Structure 1
Amino acid sequence: MQRILFVCTGNTCRSPMAEAILKGKKIDGFEVKSAGIYAATGSEASAHAKKVLDDHRIDHQHSSHLLDRASVQWADLILTMTGSHKNAILHQYPETARKVFTLKEFTGEQYDVDVVDPYGGSLAIYQETYQELDHLISKAIEKIQSSQ
């Protein structure tokens, strides 16, 4: 079982979308959760994130979680949305160095390592973020499955 933790800032946009996308693929052998570096515990996903997931017929139920030691220890792989998220985790939990990557870094992206934060943006921006996450998660799954 591969346990993947997606991390963003507030755990209301990118990381819950990534969690829902991976869960929606219904692939055996994966457990997935999400958390935020600065999340308030118990918040729902943003309205636009929920709308985009609904538009793609992806079931989702989300309550935000602050990244904590238990989550970090639970995960086999921690995929962050930005380089600053990765650095924050490495600073607070240096023992995670072997298992924390930006999502783009993990999938082999060479240039911009950040998934743009759609927070406060239009539905179209959330749709673009969804498309990017879906593509990156498919690449991540391929990489994980080819290494098993």
Structure 2
Amino acid sequence: MKKVLFVCTGNTCRSSMAEGLFNYAVENDKDGLKDFKAFSAGLSAFEDDCANPKAVKVLKEHYNVDISSHKARRITKSDVESAYIILTMTKNHKNAILAMYPGAADKTYTVKEYAYGDDVSSDSMNQGHHRNHNMDISDPYGLPEEVYKICAGEIKDALDRIIIKLKE
């Protein structure tokens, strides 16, 4: 089993959405992804917090993905060591992981860095899904549901590219 670890701050919005979307893709893929499973954690998570209700609603309504049973957890050394790849929501998350676990440098990327490489001006980045022309996925916490919808779309677009890479 190859573990894909998604990391954000509180593990209630972005990384939990990424975990849900990735595992849904794996469960519905006929070939190529069966060896992969996503997990998520936060750098400053409050253990056992539920996924944000707006994140739960957006994934259910727009992607048919249910993350209502998600419980937040803080990243551990074991998570880092057992991960096949670590995908963070921002450059700051990546830098924090590398400061704590320098040995993980060869398998730690931001989601967009891994999905798009250095090509931040690619066509997919300019179709309105990516308002920020950088490698971060902005935190929707505390913002309107529409922002969660945009965030989930950014994550889904990047995951579509990541899944193609992982199949290769």
Residue identity in the other structure for 1:35? A
Aligned to 2:14: 14
Cα distance, 1:59 vs structure 2: 2.3
Distance 2:54 2:116 in 1: 28
Residue identity in the other structure for 1:47? P
Name the count of aligned residue pairs. 146
Aligned to 1:123: 145
Unpaired stretches in structure 2, ≥5 consecutive residues? 121-133
Query: Matched residue of 1:38: which SS?
Result: coil
Q: How is 1:96-135 mapped onto 2 (pairs within 5 angstroms)?
A: 96-109=104-117, 110-111=119-120, 112-135=134-157
Residue identity in the other structure for 2:84? D
Query: Matched residue of 1:113: which SS?
Result: coil
Aligned to 1:72: 80
Cα distance, 1:31 vs structure 2: 1.1
- Identity percentage of aligned residues: 38
Distance 2:114 2:97 in 1: 16
Q: CA RMSD in A?
A: 1.0
Aligned to 1:46: 52
Moved >6 Å (runs of 4+): none
Query: Matched residue of 2:155: which SS?
Result: helix
Aligned to 1:4: 4
Cα distance, 1:80 vs structure 2: 0.1
Cα distance, 1:57 vs structure 2: 1.4
Larger radius of gyration: 2
Question: What TM-score do the two structures reach when normalised by structure 1?
Answer: 0.95
